[in-house]
Structure 1
Amino acid sequence: MPRDIHKILCPLNLRHAELAHPAYGETLRQARWHGAEVILATVVPEMERNLNIHDSEAFWMDRLKKFLKENPAGDVAVRLLVRKGAPHRQIVKLAQSESIDMIVMESANPRIQDYLLGTTASHVVNHAPCTVMAVR
């Protein structure tokens, strides 16, 4: 029996927002199909590399709002979140704390070091408490 899907998490790497469209588009398609809410999130480093950014959470929230404005969700309810830390850990924690039913995220082609260390998507697939759809 299929699971009910009420909340879908779409984590975006806003440093590479132009690559996020396939996962975001699939998220909106799934949300419309299931009548689900979308949580659009980005995970930023604890220590910002750009020293000109004084409030990184506010800066990245503005970038998330800009992404949503440039890529409207139409009739889908969207909530925006910014988290600090390691993306692979924060995505799993967010899925747990928000009772997420599905995660839709990008999956890059692995490089040689990814086979040794693992990718963000592979960690999320192995540790998330919900269904994970990896989009290429």
Structure 2
Amino acid sequence: MTSETNLILCPLNLRHSKLDYSAYEEAVAMARRRSAKLIVATMAPEMERNLNIHDSEAYWGKELRKFVADHPAPDVDMEIIVRKGAVHRQIVKLADERKVDIIVMESANPKVKDYLLGTVASHVVAHASCSVYVVRSA
């Protein structure tokens, strides 16, 4: 990782963010230290399990805006993005499209008490063309 970090991607699983958002905190701190722009993204499922959610992109977009409002970073240039599709593929695709310098993400579901790297993080580490900083759940 060089001091030339200009763009950081922090994908959030909003279902887990109430339990642990240390990856977001680390991404914000890194963006501040490096004067980098931060993209905070979440991925909406292609088929929503909750039948009460008719427009998953709109629903998760609202949830992401609420999360960022509840955890402000006023001195960080931030953009929020909602993508629809398979989480692991969309993270890599977004990073490639935007030419992200580093991805900062959680390692696994914070309810899981083991120390295994989650399947999404494993895929991103294996397929991303940029550096990936994996934050262990607290």
Common fold: TM-score over 0.5: yes
Secondary structure at the aligned position of 2:47 is classed as: coil
Query: Distance in 2 between the 1:43 and 1:32 partners?
Result: 24
Q: Are the counterparts in 2 of residues 88 and 124 from structure 1 also a CA contact under 8 Å?
A: yes
Within-5 A mapping of 1:68-87:
68-87=68-87
| Structure ranking higher in helix proportion | 1
Query: What amino acid is aligned across from residue 48 of structure 2 in structure 1?
Result: E
Q: Count the aligned residue pairs.
A: 132
Distance in 1, Cα, partners of 2:54 & 2:43: 16
For 1:6 and 1:65, the matched residues in 2 are separated by: 22
Cα RMSD between the aligned structures? 1.9
After TM superposition, what 4+ stretches of structure 1 lie above 6 angstroms from structure 2?
none
- Which residue matches 2:30? 30
Correspondence for 1:16: 16
Aligned amino acid, residue 36 of structure 1: A
Alignment of 1:71-110 (within 5 A): 71-108=71-108
Deviation at 1:54, TM superposition (A): 1.3
So what's the TM-score if we normalise by structure 1? 0.90
Match of 2:49 in 1: 49
Answer whether contact 1:12 1:20 (CA < 8 A) is retained. no
SS of the residue 1:17 aligns to: coil
Structure 1 unpaired stretches of 5+: none
Q: What is the CA–CA distance in structure 2 between the aligned matches of 1:92 and 1:20, rounded to whole Å?
A: 22
